Structure 1
Amino acid sequence: MKAAFLLLILFLLSALPTSAADSQVEGTGSAHIVELYSDIESFDVTFYSSGQEENLTLEVSLVRPDKDENVIAAQEFSTGSLPANTRVTKVGFWNVRNAERGAYTLKARLLEQGQVLSESEYDFVYGSNSASRLQLDDLVPNSEGISVVLSPKQASLFDIEYMLVDGHDVIYKTKTEKASLTSIPETFSASWGSLLENNKEYAGRVKVQVYSPSRGFITSTENFTARDDAEITDIYEDETGASATVLGRSQVPFEGSLAFSVYKVQETSGSGSSVFVESIRERVPVLLTDDDETVEVAWNERLTEGVYRLEIELFGNDGDVIERRETIIESDLAPSNAGEIIPDTKNETSNKSSGNGIPGFSINAGVAGLFLVFAFFKKLH
């Protein structure tokens, strides 16, 4: 009887729920932290979820572990939407003044309505004398993409991760694997694969992973303002019209226009002045980086004999002049022929009278008619 009673007690104890502390360590949700990185200036956290998650909370803190867990900086923000089966990276920036050399720890917790789903830590050392085989010399992000200059201290193989950052969100990411440097600096670049919003500020971030002599990272981030941009690459002009080819130079959709203006040069004027003739403005088809389109216009009337100045202006989305090109049109068309429609003379002989015959009736047509009449009567007989 006592044995049965003890078994009943053990069964009831095993059925009790686990404590809150244990549930925090194991995690109860499908979303979890899969990768962490931090240095003294910035951090990034990568999540993965097997199901769709909305508006979870990320808590991060920068701690000095050798000084009684002294929290140097802390942040908290929403993760927004986490799609299923997709790695999502968030980026943040520290603002640590007069940072001391030594060991630091990034602590991150992913929460849903106060309940911890996942937590992780990342340790790093700031101001150490450990020499990396690479040095990051310069970083330039813009509306087209991002470029980084790296110089080797020793021959190296490495990976470069390029990130386009909007606030905390990494909206585009691409990676170059097994890049190499041997003796001289080189520039490595990537184009953005995402559309940008005109006049909006973004950040370009690179994360270089070096594998030898030990696995380590070099990161750098620079802000930039996205702008629509394009350039005129080719023009054509004559007395009948003109054209210009425009090349897109930005991931901000270019929705500008081209203006073609013609001025006749006054040859008798010592100052070389010119008189306005006409101007035509046409919309440029929407362009992105490396897209090109040709815009053609025709003058209202063919330009008569003389020398003309053609001015082509490329206007951006905001109406600002992005580029201006000038060239010369030289016409040898006589003034009497300007605007004159040249008649079609292909069938001129068919409309002339042949001798004393009927006007407009050709000999060939007469012969063919007689032949048909003869054939008709022969068939009747």
Structure 2
Amino acid sequence: MKALLLILVLFLISVLPASAANTSQVEGTGPARIVELYSDIKSFDVTVYSTQPEENLTIEASLVRPGRGTEEVIASQEFLTGSLPADTRVTKVGFWEIRNAERGAYTLKIRLLEQGQVLSESEYDFVYGSNSASRLQVNDLVPNSEGITVVLSPNQASLFDIEYMLVDGHDIIYRARTEKESLTSIPEAFSASWGSLLENNKEYTGRVKVQVYSPNRGFVASTENFTARDDAEITDIYEDETGASATVLGRSQVPFEGSLVFSVHKVQETSGRGSSVFVESAREKVPVLLNDDDETVEVAWRERLTEGVYRLEIELIGNDGDIIERRETIIESDLSPSNTSNVSSGAGNEASDENGGNGTPGFSIVAGVAGLAMVFALFRKLH
């Protein structure tokens, strides 16, 4: 019987999942709890789960440097969770500002509180500046108003997942994930576009978190701040003596609500740029654009441009009234002033030809039909 009991205990130990070596957690009695942690020397994230809706719980974070019998708190902060929906994992992000960080072991300690009462707490251990090289390293990270690009280089052939995060304060307002990416021997760039609208002139943080599976589950993270700007570019233009058009392509997740200004100047000298005389300008609003959206805007001149060479200047004006791009081209017209007057009066001459000349066609047809009808009626009466 004792042997059977011993076998049962050994079986249970073998099938129970092992906890991560660098993470420990103490559960509270409340419905909300910490389910996942990560930290390095620059940033951390904490994932909270609740079985019922919660409002504005407090996350208390401390970065601790273990010592001999004592712990040194390197940095600490606290912030509110905001709204926590029921049965939903919500991740919050925090950032450390550690100057002249020392190599060695660190511990992230997180407590989840409600009105001072601890609902859940957890710890995450990591080593900064370790001599043991990671299988992957971040060479460069560039977030901007379009999206985010990270350059990774492998120390060994690796298979990994990448999580891209757009962070506003402590909130992840957009995240995307690609799985089973691979690198063998040379660096490579990986990118993602933001799927969320951005506010013009506002600062955000771009963050990537790379998970490598082998030989042990490990993470590499990197963050970089950027200021969102409205942006667009002119990709195509068309011009002649009657008008012009420009195609504008959006280059930002800040809604572009700018305009195009078309200005025509007649060149006085045929050689070189020469001097020019202003003829006219037109300003048209560009339809609202986001990243990779494009629209074509057209304008017509008040009068067709007569014979000569003209300089066309097109300015793309941004949301704040700044000039984002300026393009110049040439319009060459062979339309003489006499041709212009003939063109403008041609429609009236055609109309008079139709109604005048050798008679009115409409009247002749009506008279002929009426005559035939009278003859037909007289013929029937005689018979």
TM superposition score normalised by structure 2: 0.86
Q: CA deviation at 1:261?
A: 0.2
| Partner SS for 1:343 | helix
Q: Deviations for 1:234-266, whole angstroms, at most 9, x for unmatched residues?
A: 111111111111000001111111000000111
CA contact (8 A) 2:42 2:97 kept: yes
Alpha-carbon separation, structure 1, partners of 2:293 and 2:270: 44
Asked if the contact 2:65–2:107 (Cα under 8 Å) also holds between the matched residues in 1, the reply is: yes
Match for residue 54 of structure 1?
55
The question of whether the paired residues in 1 share the 8 Å contact of 2:158 and 2:183 is answered with: yes
* Mapped partners of 1:239, 1:336: distance in 2: 15
Q: Does 1:343 align with 2:352?
A: no
Unaligned runs of 5+ in 1: 1-23
Distance 1:117 1:62 in 2: 20
Identity of counterpart residues, as a percentage? Answer: 77
* Partner of residue 152, structure 1: 154
Q: Distance in 1 between matches of 2:145 and 2:371?
A: 79
1:209 is matched with which residue? 211
- Name the CA distance, whole Å, in 2 between partners of 1:38 and 1:241: 59
* CA distance in 1: counterparts of 2:299 and 2:257, whole angstroms: 18
| Alpha-carbon separation, structure 2, partners of 1:349 and 1:203 | 71
Whether contact under 8 Å (1:266, 1:274) holds in the other structure is yes
Structure 1 stretch displaced more, 154-163 or 371-380: 371-380
Letter of the aligned partner of 2:281 in structure 1? S
For these two proteins, the number of residue pairs brought into alignment is 354
DSSP-derived class of the 1:370 partner: helix
Q: Retained in 2: the 8 A contact 1:35–1:46?
A: yes
- Aligned residue identity for 1:37: Y
**Alpha-carbon shift at residue 96 of structure 1 (Å):** 2.6
What secondary structure is seen at the aligned counterpart in 1 of 2:346?
coil
Secondary structure of 1:87's counterpart equals strand
1:127-158 deviations in Å (ceiling 9; x for gaps): 22222221211100000000001112222110
Assess if the C-alpha contact under 8 Å between 1:238 and 1:330 holds in 2: yes
**CA deviation map 1:257-307 (0-9, x unaligned):** 100000011137887111000010111111110011111111111111111
Distance in 2 separating the partners of 1:373 and 1:102 = 117
Q: How does 1:241-320 map to 2 (within 5 A)?
A: 241-267=243-269, 272-320=274-322
* CA distance 1:63–1:271, shift in 2 (3 Å): closer
Question: What is the deviation of 1:69?
Answer: 2.9
Matches within 5 A, 1:26-37: 26-37=27-38
Which letter maps to 2:64? V
| Pairs within 5 Å for 1:1-381 | 25-67=26-68, 68-267=70-269, 272-338=274-340, 340-343=344-347, 345=350, 348=353, 351-353=356-358, 364-378=365-379
The secondary structure found in structure 2 opposite 1:44 is strand
Distance 1:61 1:293 in 2: 50
Equivalent position SS for 2:88 = coil
- Equivalent position amino acid for 1:220 in 2: S
Matched residue of 1:342: which SS?
helix
User: Residue by residue, what CA displacement relative to the aligned partner does 1:337-375 show, whole Å, maximum 9, x if unpaired?
Assistant: 336142263894563325xxxx55665544333223333
- In structure 2, stretches of 5+ residues that fail to align are 1-24
Looking at structure 1, the residues matched to 148 and 373 of structure 2 have their Cα atoms a distance apart, in angstroms, of 81
Deviation at 1:65, TM superposition (A): 3.3
Instruction: Decide whether aligned partners of structure 1 residues 375 and 110 sit closer, same or farther in structure 2, where only a CA change above 3 A counts.
Output: farther
On the 8 A contact 1:66/1:103 being kept in 2, the answer is no
- Return the offset for 1:30: 2.4
The one-letter amino acid of 1:311's match is E
Cα offsets for 1:153-203 (capped at 9, x unmatched)? 222110001111111111111111111112221110001111111111111
Measured at CA, do residues 197 and 304 of structure 1 come closer, stay the same or move farther in structure 2, by a change above 3 Å? same
Between stretches 277-286 and 69-78, larger displacement belongs to 69-78
**SS of residue paired to 2:219:** strand
Question: What is the identity, as a one-letter code, of the residue corresponding to 2:356?
Answer: N
Residue 373 of structure 1 aligns to a residue whose secondary structure is: helix
Q: Quick one: which amino acid aligns to residue 78 of structure 2? A: E
Aligned to 1:20: none
Could you say if the C-alpha distance between residues 364 and 347 of structure 1 is closer, same or farther in structure 2, counting changes exceeding 3 Å?
farther
Amino acid aligned to 2:114: E
